[in-house]
Every structure is written in structure tokens, then in C-alpha cells.
Homo-oligomer: A and B are copies of this chain.
């Protein structure tokens, strides 16, 4: 509980392992350590539990000590987001672009399901190192579909958007889950019931919403996810728009090698300027 154990989200954002604080650094609080401790907290008790006081306590330091290593709580969230993204980079990218995109999408979705707090941080626009590595990976796949870089970005974003939107809905719906359902571990289909709200029938009846009514009598469940199917449709559309992109990659560019480290370079060993500076 007190001592933050190792990975929690992945192998520490793709850095070379076993790497204490930088040689010249006198502090033991690396940005990474902060992020991992915060993630541990969020995993255990939700994003709301990640307060500066709680985090400091879990690290065994004074609250204000954190502010030496981090400008804001926002910056802390950025660190968490970066660490989260590092958790689902692919080790090697499948040759076929369709399976590659599917694989990437599945990984994000799984990560979100394992760390639901991440959706509350996903709004964060920060382009951290892992976000860049992540984009690079996406781009590697997209370049097998088209040579137009703008089109590559459109493809990437459309897939990523669908995943985020879908996962967001799934997780938000998870609140009212049918307790009878087996709810299989982490695969597809966390299917909540149709009537979570009291007064549902009254409203549906009085408003004459025939479609909903028949859905209800048919015993249908709202919020069936079927993530895979939606992704399939989208990929179908993309494929149709880019005929002749099916087989092997036209020009092989090796994936980004996880070369040593530059992860925290911009953020280490310097006093944190106030926001205006």
C-alpha cells in the first residue's frame, strides 16, 4: 500500500529498466515515480482519490514537496496520461494493416478497461513522449494504406476516435450493470439493462416512443457495445476508399526502436517555473 510496486500500467513507459535517479540528481522523486504512484492510487480508488495530499502521503513526503517536481496538478495528470499511453504500445506491428489497426484499437480499449480513470484524463491535450511514440506506431500502419500524410492522420484519428467514444460509453454505462449477467472478465460486451431509471415506462408510454417501446418488449438491452463490429464497419469504409492497399507494406520502414531514454529530459533537474513564465 505505502510502497508503490513496479509496473501498474506497463514496463514504465518504454524506458531502460533499473535506472535510479539521474546521476547528478539528489532527489528520489522522478516524474515517473510520481506518475506510477498516482496511477496506483487511481487504480485502487478512482481518479477522485488522486489528490496532492493523498499522493504525497503514499510517497511518504510532505504535500508541498510535490510542487517542486510538478508545476500543477494538471502536470501530474499529464504524467499519468503519458505513462498510461506507454502501457499499450505494440511490441511488433502485424504486417496486414487491418489486423494491425484492429490490434492497436483492442489494446487501447483493454487499457481503458483496466484503468477506467484514464478516460477522465483523456481530454488532456499534452503531446508527451509516449503519445508521440504512439502516433508513430499508428503512422507506420497508416502509411501502408496511403501515401498522403493528411489522409493518414484522418485514418488514425477516425479509428482512435471510435475507440475512445465507444469505451467511454461502455464504461459510463457500467454503473448500472445487470448483476445477473456473468459479465465475463474483460472481453467484449458489458451489456447493461434497458431500464436503469425509475419512471422509464411512464415516460416512454406518455410520450409515445414506439421504437423504444418495442425494443423494451423485445427484451433488448440498450448499450450493447459490439465494439468489434463498429470498428469493422469503419475499417470496411476505409478499405473501400483505398482499394489496392490490401497486401504487404509497400516500403518497409522498421518500427521505432525503443532507443535509450529521453523521457523525462525536459522535465528533470530544474525548478518549476510558475505557469506564466
- Point out residues on A near B: beta carbons under 8 Å: 119-120, 122-129, 132-133, 135-136, 139-140, 143, 149-150, 153-154, 157-158, 160-166, 168-169, 171-173, 175-176, 196-200, 202-204, 206-212, 214-215, 218, 220, 222-226, 229-230, 232-238, 240-241, 253, 256-257, 259, 262, 265-266
Contacts and interface: CB of A to CB of B under 8 A. Distances in A.
A197 B126 contact: yes
A255 to B, nearest CB: 10
Given A125-B176, A215-B149, A202 B265 contact: yes
Nearest to A119: B123
A265 B205 CA distance: 13
Given A132-B209, A136-B209, A165 B161 contact: yes
B153 A220 contact: yes
Contact of A123 (B132, B172, B240): B172
Given A132-B209, A161-B162, A204-B132, A233 B234 contact: yes
Contacts of A240: 233, 236-237, 240
A158 B233 contact: yes
Given A199-B265, A222-B153, A143 B211 contact: yes
B125 A196 contact: yes
Given A135-B212, A164-B165, 7 more contacts: A153-B215, A153-B224, A157-B169, A157-B230, A158-B229, A158-B233, A230-B234
Contacts of A171: 123
A199 B131 CA distance: 13
Question: Which 6 pairs of residues, A with B, have the shortest CB-CB distance?
Answer: A233-B237, A165-B165, A161-B165, A158-B230, A139-B211, A236-B237
Contacts of A198: 266
A37 to B, nearest CB: 23
A214 to B, nearest CB: 7
A171 B164 CA distance: 14
Most chain B beta-carbon neighbours within 10 Å: one of A143, A161, A266: A161
A262 B169 contact: no
Given A135-B212, A172-B124, A236-B236, A157 B207 contact: no
Contacts of A124: 172
Contacts of A199: 265-266
Most chain B beta-carbon neighbours within 10 Å: one of A158, A198, A223, A226: A158
